[in-house]
Structures are given as C-alpha cells and as structure tokens.
C-alpha cells in the first residue's frame, strides 16, 4: 500500500473503541473554554471603541475561537496520558482511544496556523502576533513545561487564558493600550483562586495524575491563604476599569459587590471550616449523573469556585453591556 | 489501516460524519476567504479610488 493509499484508508479504531465521530474532533477544541475566550475577546474588541467592519470583526473573533480550539486540541494531544487518570477528563477523545494523539496534534497545528495566518492577512499583524503568542504560551509554557512541574502552573499558565481580550482589542484598533492590559490583569489574577478552589475538592484526581496542584504540594491551609490573598488583590483590581476611564457606574457596582462577595467566601473558606475539606469521590450510584459529590467540608470551596465563575462573567457582561448601551465611563 | 469494504456500518457512518465535517470546514474556508477579499478590495477602492 502506498503512502497515499494509507492516508486515504479509514483508520481502524482499537478493539472495543468506536471509531471517531465528527463530534469527537469538535470536542478536541474544548468548546466550553472556547466560549469563554470568545466572550472576553468580544468584550475587548468592543471596548476598543474603534469602528470596525462587522464582517471583519466576525472574522477576527472566528480566528480567536479557532486559535483557542487549536490550542485546546494540542493540549489534549499532549495530556492524553494524564487525562486518562482523571475522572473529569478520561472520557475525552484522546484518552478514550477514539482519536489518536497524532491526529489531535495535526488538527491543533493546522487550526492554529490557519487562525494566525488569517488574522494577520485579514485583520492586522499585532493581533496575529498576540494570538500566536497566546497559543504558543498555552501549549509550550503551560502544557509542556509548567503543568507537571510546579504548583505555580496555573498562575503563570493563566496568562494564556487572560490574553483574549487584548487580542480582541488589538484586532479592532491595532493597538494594545493599558486599559486592554488591565482586562488581562483581571483574568490573570482571577485564575489562581478559581482553579485552586476547584482543586481543593478534586485533588484526588490531580494526585492520581501526578499534577502538582497547590493543595497537593503546599497543603490545604496554604492554598486557602493564597486564595484569600489573590481575592484581596482581585477585588480592587476588578474595580480599577471604573477609575481608568474604561467602565461606567453599572460595572463599578457589579465589580464592587462581586469583589466583596469573593473576599467573604475566601475568608469563610479560610477560617470557617475544619482543617481540610476532604476531596470527595463520586459515589458509584451518583457517578452517572454527578462527576464530583461535594461533602460539607468542601462546600465553601465549591461555592467560591462557582462564585468566581459568575464574578468574571458578570464583570465582562457589565462592561460589554455598558459599551453597547453607550453608558459613559465614570472617569473621562 | 483497515479495508473500507470490511467496515461495519457504525464505523462507516462515523467516517461519513467526519468527511462531512471536513467538507463543511473547507466550504466555510472558501466563503471566509471570499468575504475577506471582497471587503479588502472594497476598502481599497474607497480609499484609492
């Protein structure tokens, strides 16, 4: 069989594993992560305040979404071994054997190159460079280097998830001003408490996979203290766009209330519960419907995780809503 | 690699789905390049006459 014939022939799935469907390849793109990336990128694009052809704006957002998808596919390709050890990730296409890691890598590289190239040709070079940097940082720095080596993995690696609003801003304006970096800083500081709160009640999974999340390396008490420290920085940082001429009164109110609620939950997590919120495994009866059951000791961590998600969504929704409604910034 | 003639119906259906996704992606790419080209040409005409 020639090489061409080999490429054209259908790939047989391993025994007891069904062949990959189209949906498996879409799952490689991490659509839920992609939706958050698109949301923050759209906010950055709108906040830039520059008139932009709506078709080109859609192309820019498509490039960011596809770039994020490509990075997600590369992440799944390289993390297939540890994904197989964690309940949250073991049904993904690569660890389940439905998609070969090499195929996921090829898809990731192709989509990433496509996204950066089109961004550079159709939008501008700055946005393309920032998009390329984001993808490379996520794959090379976070996935390949930091994730398995240090508990600071999501602190530093979080930069990749924080950059989409800057890419959106650069796509609209061709510039990267300090207000755009402020949005990056908010997501960057938000990332550690969000993922550490999650890891407080899922650390059995990370331990099984050998991923050095903060609770496993430094302990639960240290993680709780660091979560509070980050929340104390995040709360005022979240309000900052209202005093730098970027956001208006609605955003200021949302950021103030949300920041205060985050601090309250972080304090409750630190002082209100016993020494260690034991990570709870899903019971055999609930495993089909519930990935993780959360016992009473882990509830504050779960509450903080959920609130942090709502907080970030509310901040960017308020900012986006104000810009679309033409609400004037508090400070000019 | 396996012989396409030996595929079971489930695998064949999965392969068809993958091929349709690939076709849709290629068509979307062509439309995308067409739209970007038209916008860029229109912009250049409006700027340079």
pLDDT digits (tens, 9 = 90+) for A290-326: 555 556 568 899 999 999 999 999 999 999 999 999 9
**pLDDT band for position B44 (50/70/90)?**
confident
Q: For residue B10, which residues of chain A lie inside 8 Å, CB to CB?
A: 18-19
pLDDT at residue A3 in the model: 37
Cα distance from B23 to chain A (closest Cα, Å)? 11
Cα distance from B20 to chain A (closest Cα, Å)? 8
| Lowest pLDDT segment from A102-106, A300-304, B1-5, B37-41 | B1-5
The partner residue sitting opposite A21, judged by closest CB among B1, B3, B17, is B17
- A118·B32 Cβ contact <8 A: yes
Provide the ipTM: 0.87
The partner residue sitting opposite B21, judged by closest CB among A25, A55, A59, is A25
Domain ranges of chain B: 7-48
Q: Can you list the alpha helix ranges (DSSP code H) found in chain A?
A: 3-8, 22-27, 31-47, 54-78, 80-83, 101-118, 125-136, 153-162, 164-173, 178-200, 203-209, 214-217, 220-239, 249-271, 299-325
Closest CA to A60 of A166, A142, A159: A166
A315, A238 Cβ separation under 8 angstroms: yes
- B11·A55 Cβ contact <8 A: no
A73, A112 Cβ separation under 8 angstroms: no
pLDDT digits (tens, 9 = 90+) for A71-130: 999 999 999 999 999 998 999 999 999 999 999 999 999 999 999 999 999 999 999 999
The partner residue sitting opposite A55, judged by closest CB among B1, B17, B39, is B39
């Amino acid at each position: 069989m020639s090489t061409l014939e080999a490429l054209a022939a259908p790939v047989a799935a391993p025994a007891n594993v069904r062949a990959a469907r189209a949906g498996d390849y879409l799952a490689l793109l991490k659509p839920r992560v992609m939706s958050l990336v698109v949301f923050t990128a759209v906010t950055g694009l709108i906040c830039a305040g520059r008139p932009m052809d709506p078709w080109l704006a859609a192309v820019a957002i498509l490039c960011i979404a596809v770039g994020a998808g490509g990075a997600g596919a590369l992440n799944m390709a390289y993390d297939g071994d540890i994904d197989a050890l964690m309940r949250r990730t073991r049904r993904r296409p690569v660890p389940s054997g439905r998609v070969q890691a090499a195929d996921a890598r090829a898809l990731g590289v192709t989509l990433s190159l496509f996204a950066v190239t089109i961004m550079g040709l159709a939008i501008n070079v700055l946005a393309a460079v920032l998009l390329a940097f984001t993808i490379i940082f996520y794959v090379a720095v976070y996935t390949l280097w930091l994730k398995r080596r240090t508990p600071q993995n999501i602190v530093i690696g979080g930069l990749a998830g924080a950059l989409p609003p800057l890419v959106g801003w650069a796509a609209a304006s061709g510039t990267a001003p300090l207000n755009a970096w402020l949005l990056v800083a908010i997501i960057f500081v938000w990332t550690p408490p969000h993922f550490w709160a999650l890891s407080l009640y899922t650390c059995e999974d990370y331990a099984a996979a050998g991923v050095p999340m903060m609770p496993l390396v430094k302990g639960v008490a240290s993680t709780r203290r660091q979560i509070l420290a980050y929340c104390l920085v995040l709360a005022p940082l979240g309000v900052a766009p209202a005093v730098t001429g970027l956001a208006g009164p609605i955003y200021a109110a949302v950021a103030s209330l949300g920041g205060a609620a985050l601090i309250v939950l972080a304090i409750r997590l630190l002082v209100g519960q016993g020494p260690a919120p034991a990570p709870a495994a899903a019971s055999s009866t609930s495993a089909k419907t519930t990935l993780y059951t959360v016992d009473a000791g882990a509830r504050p961590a779960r509450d903080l995780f959920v609130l942090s998600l709502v907080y970030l969504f509310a901040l960017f929704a308020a900012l986006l809503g104000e810009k679309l409604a033409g609400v004037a910034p508090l400070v000019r | 690699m396996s012989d396409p003639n030996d595929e079971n119906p489930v695998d064949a259906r999965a392969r068809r789905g993958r091929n349709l996704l690939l076709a849709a992606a290629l068509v979307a790419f062509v439309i995308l390049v067409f739209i970007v080209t038209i916008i860029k040409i229109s912009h250049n005409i409006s700027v340079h006459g």
